[in-house]
Chain A
Amino acid sequence: MLSLRLAIRNIFRNVRRTAFTLAAIAAGCSALILNGGVIFNIFRGLREDAIYGRHGHLQIFRRGYTEGHLAHPDRYLIPEDEYPRIRDILNGAPQVTAVTRRLSFSGLAQNRDTTVSFLGEGVEPVIDAQFQKHLAIIAGDGLASDEPFGVLLGKGLAERVHACPGDYLTLLSQTADGALNAIDVRVRGIFHGGLKDYDDWTMKVPLSAAQRLLWSQRIEAIIVLLNDTDATGAARDRLEHLFASHGLDLEVRTWEDLAQFHNQVVALFRRELHVITLIVSVIVILSIANTMTMSILERTREFGTLRAMGARPRRIVGLLLLEGAILGLVGTAAGLVVGAAVARVVSRIGITYPSPPGSTRPYIGGIDLVPDYLLFSCVSSWTATIVATALPALRAVQTRVVDALRQ
């Protein structure tokens, strides 16, 4: 107890210096929290975009689809008559909140004298909105079940084909047996999906119309939303087991399996996060090491006295590390409070980022407080303080006792 009391009182010997040291630790800890918070917010934005803008939580395909669908797209479609059985299994799974079917295809769209290629997404009109939360209708209306040949065009595609809501287009595509087929559709609306490539090429077509165009009753994928993103892996395992037990030869892919862009960005930013953590830790160490060195040098004679009285060097190092640990704890706590408060305020206001690569609209972000990363930031700052204390402490006890007493 006396050692603890001594350590605490030593910390407040020089209030101004202690305040500076605490400010340096707190600033470092806050910087880590805020930088990490910005990055985790971006991660969350990308994740939400991947799940609710594109992939859902899970996608169910015919087994072998991932490896083989590019070479043989028709071989890996799910027969329409299997869908009710699959839907029943999915509806019985407690985490599943929404299910929809999709069928992607390519074709040509003709509007009077203009013909352009497009990528079609056959979707279920009503429920599709739940799976495309980031999609904004900028002209006209969304898909409707009472208009089976009403389609939505991406903003860029609409410009390319010179189409407005209300215009009629003729769509041409190849059927499963290689013949050409065509249907007429009406443009119900124009959407803005956020990604330029997506907006330039995509047409959303009611599933029944897409199946009519392709002359096939099959579907490519069943998309599933869950009530908890963290349960995605467990849900996949459970569904794969259920499908197998019901004799359905299906593969289940998670959004993480499918979201390559998300995965690449996350990997890149995680590396950046590590580099920033290292840089901030070094800055904290250098800032604190200076004041700790001054503080320790001023007390050289005191350490000489303690050693003359029989204190072993490790005891003195221990005392100084205890002081550093307490300083680190207080500074880190202050940094946590400041970082969290700033994060809350900034998140409420919002940070407007320019449009990310490939995107067509700015991104409004915030600062996320992720418990694991908060803990990591605090431990990093605290460890940096201990390291900054250890270096001068080890140097201090290398001084000979008589030399220390002469100081």
Chain B
Amino acid sequence: MLEQDNQGVSVLLLEEVSRDYQVGRERVGALKGVSLRVNAGEFVAVVGPSGSGKTTLLNLAGCIDRPSSGRVFLDGLRCDDVPESVLSGLRAEKIGFVFQTFNLIPVLTAAENVEYALQLRPQAPPAGERRKRVAEILERTGIGPLARRRPDEMSGGERQRVAIARALVGRPRLVLADEATANLDGQTAAQIVGLMRELNEEQGVTFVFSTHDSRLQGMAKRIVELRDGLLRGGRSC
């Protein structure tokens, strides 16, 4: 039985979360007692210099890592102490990921990459429904005409659009994008963040993305700043 968040349902809640790593004989704290609440429909940028703990925070939020201490709630359900098999189901149902290096499957076309994400869900929709949703999301992310191309036949921006489509096709509660624009030129990066913001406003999907690009920070509705594993406060735009 999953434990419920008793402070009212938020999409993401981190309570006093710390994450330590063993480096040689030393324990290094990547996150130190961070608390963060993200509500439905927010568009949050996690900012900070390299090594500040942005990726660690997103990994914990995405339930692909476990905190050394503290609690993580996803959509009101505690997920820091549940078995990996349960987490797989939670991730498939509730979270979409967008990675810095796109992480598309190179042998699948854009449409197949997106469809495969749907197939991984415990209750995968039937084939007809899957294809309809894939076509819709590819069209919405602007890569409908490239649906049959493989990743190596697309530009970085196009690949990242496919990755966003893949993250959104399962209609997740939360999309996590870790340095999703770091490999893109400035103009393309702004287009990608712009697309994410449009989808956030249109579909109400909650986005949490990390970036160290100050130009993109201005596109966020809320900024959370990390420094040396500590939350330095934040601001809403």
Contacts and interface: CB of A to CB of B under 8 A. Distances in A.
A311 interface: yes
A271 interface: no
B99 A6 contact: no
B119 A308 contact: no
A3 interface: yes
A1 to B, nearest CB: 8
A308 B107 contact: no
A401 B65 contact: yes
Interface string A77-108: 00000000000000000000000000000000
A307 B88 contact: yes
B106 A13 contact: yes
A306 interface: yes
B105 A308 contact: no
Interface stretch (B10-18, B39-47, B90-98, B136-144): B90-98
A315 interface: yes
- Interface magnitude class on chain A: 20 to 34
B110 interface: no
Nearest to A312: B88
Contacts of B93: 310
Contact of A308 (B89, B97, B101, B122): B97
B107 A405 contact: no
B120 A405 contact: no
Contacts of B95: 310
Interface string A1-44: 11101100110010000000000000000000000000000000
Given A2-B119, A310-B88, A315-B120, A305 B103 contact: yes
A402 B116 CA distance: 21
A4 B106 CA distance: 15
A312 B85 CA distance: 7
Nearest to A13: B107
Contact of B91 (A1, A3, A10, A309): A309
Contacts of B59: 402
The interface centre, meaning the residue of A2, A309, A400 with most chain B CB atoms within 10 A of its CB, is A309
B99 A405 contact: yes
A237 interface: no
A249 interface: no
A402 B117 contact: no
A309 B107 contact: no
B91 A308 contact: yes
A302 interface: yes
A344 interface: no
Interface in B81-136: 84-85, 88-93, 95, 97, 99, 101, 103, 105-108, 112, 115-117, 119-122, 127
Contacts of A236: none
15 contacts: A2-B112, A3-B119, A9-B107, A10-B107, A307-B64, A308-B62, A308-B91, A309-B120, A310-B120, A310-B122, A311-B88, A311-B92, A401-B64, A401-B65, A402-B65
Which A-B residue pairs are the 4 nearest by beta carbons? A310-B92, A9-B107, A305-B103, A401-B64
